[in-house]
Structure 1
Amino acid sequence: MKVKIHTLFQYLLETTQAEPEAIVGFSLAQSPRLGDFLADLDPDLPLDWNSRDFSGLPELKDHVLRQAGLTGVCAPADVLITAGAAEANYLSIMQLLQTDDEIVIETPGWPQAEVLAKAIGAKVVRVTRRETDGWRLPLDQLAEAVTVRTRMIFLTNPNNPTGDMLDASELAEIVQIADRVGAWLLVDEVYAGLEWDGPRAPSIAGMYARGITTGSVSKALGLQGLRTGWIICPDAGLIRDAVILRENSSEIMNIMGEVIAEIALRPERYDPALGKARTEGLAHLAQINDWIAQQEGLHWISPRAGLIGLAHLPEGFDSEAFARFLLADPYRTFLLPGSAYEQPNHIRLGVGGGLSVNLTEGLTRLAQALADYPRAEGRCCMDPHSTDTACCLSS
């Protein structure tokens, strides 16, 4: 089994040394500093495993259930602390999906499940979210895609990257679709808690015996560097299988990540931090909505939740070529091209980063790049790896 690189990660690898001066597309809340936690850290803390619970700090697991709205619904034994939501997804998919199984995924969506499924040799069945339908997940098409051969359904809620959101009634319908064939239902909830249009949706682990909720402290709390996330699932066998696989990958928990995450998820810290992320995210969302309204040929469906959304480029633009154009002098501004999500006519914009992101400057540079971008028919203009803009300007 060989895991092949995805377009999204390929672009990040190729541009990681660019040193942009502005970012338009920050996908997580403003990150706290280590000093914010020092007063609550024990300097005598052993940097070995916690010696209490191999599946994670018990108090951290309690906090995870609380923030997911699952206290009293799921038990601490239903929680496994992982190295971020990415490992949570990995452990679940790799232990449940076998060669020739089918997995139903959404597109656009977080690409991890498809990458892993292809490496396993499973069949990937796609259900397409369409911009013309407000990026909604078509439940009728999902029902048609799920068959007796379906082993797993993988979704993100809120959706990454469109910012659409499934509500409680839609999730209940999806549970019925999955239960009809006994399929596992994995919902990545890394953006949960950052809803702009409606309440937080219920976590799937509390709705379905084969429901798997994954999440982390990375997005809403800006603690991506801790690499601390979780699986919540009422199926004891799945949790045990995930522990076994983790023993052969990251092995034991990241104790510093768990300890700081536990502090961050304490109610007296978590609630104000989430409120701050929501206030700053809403302010940036309003700013981007106003800015897009002033741009000729650029439009988007404003995300209903989360910190990112897809904006539709004007005619004649290729997203990756434009993203590289924007990253070069004189703009020096980073954003992720929609080609990372197989949406080559889009760019990903973000409302995260809080006050640490100079969004006004980034949008000013982006507006100038949109105006300057050469939309001639020259081949070099459509080559996403070309740095020769002169030929485009002269063609």
Structure 2
Amino acid sequence: MKVKIHRLFEYLLETTEAAPEAIVGFSLSQSPVLGDFLADLDPALPLDWNNRDFRGLPELRDHVLAQAGLAGVCTPSDVLITAGAAEANYLTIMQLLQPGDEIVLETPGWPQAEVLAKAIGASIVKVVRRETDGWQLPLDHLRDAVTARTRMIFLSNPNNPTGQVLDRPALEEIVRIADRVGAWLLVDEVYAGLEWKGARAPSVAGLYARGITTGSVSKALGLQGLRTGWLISPDPGLVKDAVILRENSSEIMNIMGEVIAEIALRPDRLAPAMERARHDGAANLARMDAWVTAQPNLSWVRPAAGLIGLGRLPDGIDSDAFARRLLAEPYRTFLLPGSAYDEPQHIRLGVGGGAGVNLDKGLSRLAQALADWPA
């Protein structure tokens, strides 16, 4: 099995040393600093693994269930702490999919599942979210795509990269679609909690015996560098299989990541952190929406949740060429081309990152680059 690079990661690798002066499209909240946690850290903490449970610190797993609304629905034994949501997705897909199995994916969507499915030799069926439909997931198309051959359905909710949300009735219908053929339903929830209208959708691990929820502290809390995430599943066999595979990859968790994540998810810290993230994200989203509205020939479907969305470029502008031009002098501004999500006529617009990303400067330079683009 050989994992081939996806365009999203390829572009990030190619531009790592570019040193932009502004970023438009930052995908996580402003990151805290280590000093914010020092008062709660024990200087005598051994820098070994947690010495208590291979699934992760018990109190951290309790917090994971609480923030997902699954306390009393799932148990701590249903939770495995992982190196981010990416590892949680990896462990799940690698243990459940075999060559020749069928996986149903959404597009645009988080590309990790497609990359792994191709490497495994699985058959891929895509359900298309269309901009003309507000990027909503067409449940009738999903229903037609899922057959007796379907082993897994992979979705993100809120959707990465469009920011659209599947509510409870939609999720319950998707569960019925999956259950009809006994398919696993894996839902990546890294942006959950950053809904701009309405309540957070329920986590699928609490709705379906083959439901798997993955998430992390990376996006809403800005703690990407901790590399701390989780998978939640009521199926004990799946969780054990994930532990076995992790034993042969990362083996054990990063103790500092576990400890700081546990502090960050304590209720008395989580609530104000999420409130700040929602306040800052909503303010930046309003600025972004006003800016997009003011641009001739640029449009987007405003995200209903999360920190990113897709902006449609004027006709005739390729997203890769435009992103590279924007990164060069005199603009020195980074954004991710829509080709990273199989949408080459779009660019990823984001409202995360705080003051350090210089969003206003980036938007000004982005507007200038659009105006300067050859007709």
Query: Distance in 1 between the 2:17 and 2:54 partners?
Result: 38
Q: Quick check: 2:326–2:333 contact (8 Å CA) kept in 1?
A: yes
Q: Does 1:186 align with 2:160?
A: no
Please give the alpha-carbon distance, in whole angstroms, between the structure 2 residues aligned to 1:32 and 1:374: 41
* Pairwise CA distance, 1:79: 0.1
The CA distance in 2 between the partners of 1:150 and 1:39, in whole Å, is: 50
- Residue 329 of structure 1 is matched in structure 2 by 329
Q: How does 1:102-181 map to 2 (within 5 A)?
A: 102-181=102-181
Q: What corresponds to 2:356 in structure 1?
A: 356
Query: Take 1:24 and 1:49, find their aligned partners in 2: how far apart are those partners?
Result: 38
Once the 2 structures are TM-superposed, how far is the Cα of residue 356 of structure 1 from its aligned partner?
A: 3.1
Counterpart Cα distance in 2 of 1:337 and 1:230 = 29
Give, as a single letter, the amino acid of the residue that structure 2 aligns with 1:215.
Answer: G
TM-score normalised to structure 1 length? 0.94
User: Using the alignment, how far apart are the partners of 1:374 and 1:85 within structure 2?
Assistant: 41
Please list the CA deviations of residues 63-97 of structure 1 after superposition, one character each: whole Å capped at 9, or x if unmatched. Answer: 00000000000000000000000000000000000
Residue 88, structure 1, aligned to residue 88, structure 2: yes
Q: Which residue in the other structure is 1:387 paired with?
A: none
Report the secondary structure of 1:89's partner residue. helix
Structure whose alpha-carbon radius of gyration is higher: 1
Report the alpha carbon displacement of residue 48 of structure 1 after superposing the two structures with TM.
Answer: 0.8
Q: 1:188-337 counterparts in 2 under 5 A? A: 188-337=188-337
- Write the letter of the residue equivalent to 1:151: R
In structure 2, how many angstroms separate the alpha carbons of the residues matched to 1:112 and 1:273?
28
Tell me the amino acid that sits aligned with residue 169 of structure 1.
Answer: P
Asked if 2 retains the 8 angstrom alpha-carbon contact of 1:335 and 1:347, the reply is yes
Report if the CA contact (8 A) 2:21-2:358 is conserved.
Answer: no
Q: Distance in 2 between matches of 1:287 and 1:167?
A: 26
Query: In 1, are the aligned partners of 2:154 and 2:186 still within 8 Å (CA)?
Result: yes
Q: How far apart are the structure 2 equivalents of 1:103 and 1:358?
A: 40
User: Aligned letter for 1:274?
Assistant: M
State the alpha-carbon separation in 1 of the partners of residues 207 and 246 from structure 2: 26
**Offset of residue 51 of structure 1:** 1.1
Cα drift, residue 354 of structure 1: 2.4
Structure 1 runs (4+) deviating above 6 angstroms are none
Contact 1:20 1:332 in 2 (8 A): yes
2:80 partner SS: strand
Whole-Å Cα distance in 1 between the matches of residues 338 and 199 of structure 2?
A: 28
Deviations, residues 312-347 of structure 1 (Å, cap 9, x unaligned): 001110001000000000000000000110101000
Residue identity in the other structure for 1:89:
N
**Cα deviation 1:213-236 (Å, max 9, x = unaligned):** 000000000000000000000000
Give the secondary structure class of the aligned counterpart of 1:103.
strand
Question: How far did 1:361 drift?
Answer: 0.9
Tell me the number of residue pairs that the alignment of Structure 1 and Structure 2 aligns: 375
Give me the whole-angstrom Cα distance separating, in 1, the residues matched to 2:299 and 2:54.
48
Q: Which amino acid aligns with 1:291?
A: W
2:51 counterpart residue number: 51
By how many angstroms is 1:311 displaced?
0.3
Q: Please say if residues 333 and 362 of structure 1, whose CA atoms lie closer than 8 Å, have aligned partners that are also in contact.
A: yes
Structure 1 SS opposite 2:215:
strand
Q: Percent identity?
A: 78
Which runs of no fewer than 5 residues in structure 2 stay unpaired?
Answer: none
- The one-character-per-residue Cα deviations of 1:196-254 (angstroms, maximum 9, x if unpaired) are 12110000000000000000000000000000000000000000000000000000111
Structure 2 CA distance for aligned equivalents of residues 47 and 23 of structure 1: 35
TM-score (norm 2): 0.99
Deviations 1:156-189 (A, max 9, x none): 0000000010000000000000000000000000
**Which residue does 1:33 correspond to in 2?**
33
Counterpart AA for 2:188: D
Secondary structure at the aligned position of 1:171 is classed as helix
- What is the CA–CA distance in structure 2 between the aligned matches of 1:80 and 1:256, rounded to whole Å? 16
Q: For 1:7 and 1:353, how far apart are their aligned partners in 2?
A: 23
| Structure 1 counterpart of 2:298, one-letter code | L
- Measure, in 2, the Cα distance between the counterparts of 1:266 and 1:147: 42
Q: Distance in 2 between matches of 1:245 and 1:298?
A: 45
2:319–2:339 CA contact under 8 A, matched in 1: yes
Counterparts of 2:100 and 2:279 in 1: how far apart (Å)?
A: 46
3-state SS of the aligned residue for 1:322?
Answer: helix
Question: Is 1:280–1:355's contact at 8 Å kept on the other side of the alignment?
Answer: no
SS at match of 2:285: helix
Query: Is residue 17 of structure 1 aligned with residue 55 of structure 2?
Result: no
What is the Cα deviation at residue 49 of structure 1?
1.1
Could you tell me whether the CA contact under 8 Å between 1:325 and 1:373 is conserved in 2? no
C-alpha separation in 1, matches of 2:54 and 2:216: 18
SS in 1 for 2:231: strand
Aligned residue number for residue 393 of structure 1? none
Q: CA RMSD in A?
A: 0.6
Is the CA contact 2:189–2:215 (under 8 Å) kept in the aligned structure 1? Answer: yes
